[in-house]
Amino acid sequence: YTHKKGGKFSLKDFDIGRPLGKGKFGSVYLARHKNPEYIVALKILFKSQLQNATVEHQLLREIEIQGHLRHPHILRMYTYFWDEKKIYLVLEYAEKGELYKTLQSQSRFSDKTSALYIYQMADALQYCHTKNVIHRDIKPENILIGSDGELKISDFGWSVHAPGNKRRTMCGTLDYLPPEMINGHSHSKHVDIWALGILCYEFLVGKPPFESEDSAKTYDAIKKLRYYFPDYVSGGARDLISKLLVLEPTQRLPLDKLMDHFWVKGHVEAKK
């Protein structure tokens, strides 16, 4: 279903359903491809907005990257098409919605849920890294939940082919930035490993470790590794997080070791 016989897809191939959300450059709708019937998420981007934000190249890079990624924990981009004013991304529909909403409603996740989710994210990132792709924007807002409750990383808007050091405009949260990206040093796949440490902490505690009311304090806390664990955080989780939130990028726990960590393995029956 990524190649339509007889050329390009077009809007008339789809019935448009309810809005799923508003993205940065457009909105997303539930949609059904008419023949064969297939439920998708249709993201509609305005060319004018992309041009104003000079992000066309980023979108093209993302389309290129997404085209080669096939993984159960990475949201698919099936195809894309355009008309004179808009670009349409035909995306996988994640039936159980947005992870950050689930985290907000549950305030924090159990050890078992957190370990399973971190395992799935590490599995997806390990796959990306073998394809020399760094995601660079791992956070709950970019993670969706599939029909079996499995996580799906999405929105590779910031991904690059390693090693990159594209300055990222500081849009969105700073909470996930590793020290090397704050100093503008070139960074590598280790940025994603740092982000998994932040993500694991946020799953267990309900907020990221370095969160503070102003960005200067957040930067300072990151660079000084100033964070604490609430009493309820288990020893196993503390051990894993302390091996991911390491200032020296190359000293962070590699993804295969993460997936093998006793706290993760204790909660995740090993993959068949």
Ligand X SMILES: COc1ccc(C(=O)Nc2ccccc2)cc1NC(=O)CCSCc1cnc2[nH]ccc2c1
If the CB atoms of residues 89 and 205 are measured against ligand X, the closer one turns out to be 89
13 carries an active-site annotation? no
137 binds ligand X (CB under 6 A): no
Q: Give the span between the Cα atoms of 14 and 131, in whole angstroms.
A: 32
154 vs 218 by CB, closer to ligand X: 154
3-state per-residue secondary structure call for the chain: CCCCCCCCCCHHHEEEEEEEEECCCEEEEEEEECCCCEEEEEEEEEHHHHHHCCCHHHHHHHHHHHHHCCCCCECCEEEEEECCCEEEEEECCCCCCEHHHHHHHHCCCCHHHHHHHHHHHHHHHHHHHHCCEECCCCCHHHEEECCCCCEEECCHHHCEECCECCCCCCCCCCCCCCHHHHCCCCECCHHHHHHHHHHHHHHHHCCCCCCCCCHHHHHHHHHCCCCCCCCCCCHHHHHHHHHHCCCCHHHCCCHHHHHHCHHHHHHCCCCC
Nearest residue (CB) to ligand X, 13 versus 220? 13
The 44-73 contact track toward ligand X, x by CB under 6 A, reads -x----x----x--xx--x---x-------
Residue 98 interacts with ligand X (CB under 6 A): yes or no = yes
Distant-in-sequence, close-in-space partners of 109: CB < 8 Å, separation ≥ 6: 103, 117, 203, 204
111, 123, 137, 192: which one is catalytic? 137
Residue 107 Cβ, how far from ligand X at the closest point, in Å?
21
Q: Is 218 in the site for ligand X (CB under 6 A)?
A: no
155 makes contact with ligand X (CB under 6 A): yes
Instruction: Choose between 15 and 260: whose C-beta lies nearer to ligand X.
Output: 15
Residues in the interface with ligand X (CB under 6 A) total: 27
Residue 125 binds ligand X, judged by CB under 6 A: no
Q: Is 31 in the site for ligand X (CB under 6 A)?
A: no
Minimum CB distance to ligand X, residue 153 (Å): 9
From 31, 44, 65, 75, residue interacting with ligand X (rule: CB under 6 A): 75
Q: Of the ranges 17-25, 204-212, 253-261, 263-271, which one interacts with ligand X (CB under 6 A)?
A: 17-25
Site residues (vs ligand X, CB under 6 A):
20-21, 23, 25, 28, 41, 43, 45, 50, 55, 58-59, 62, 66, 75, 77, 89, 91, 93-94, 97-98, 144, 154-157
Catalytic residues: 137
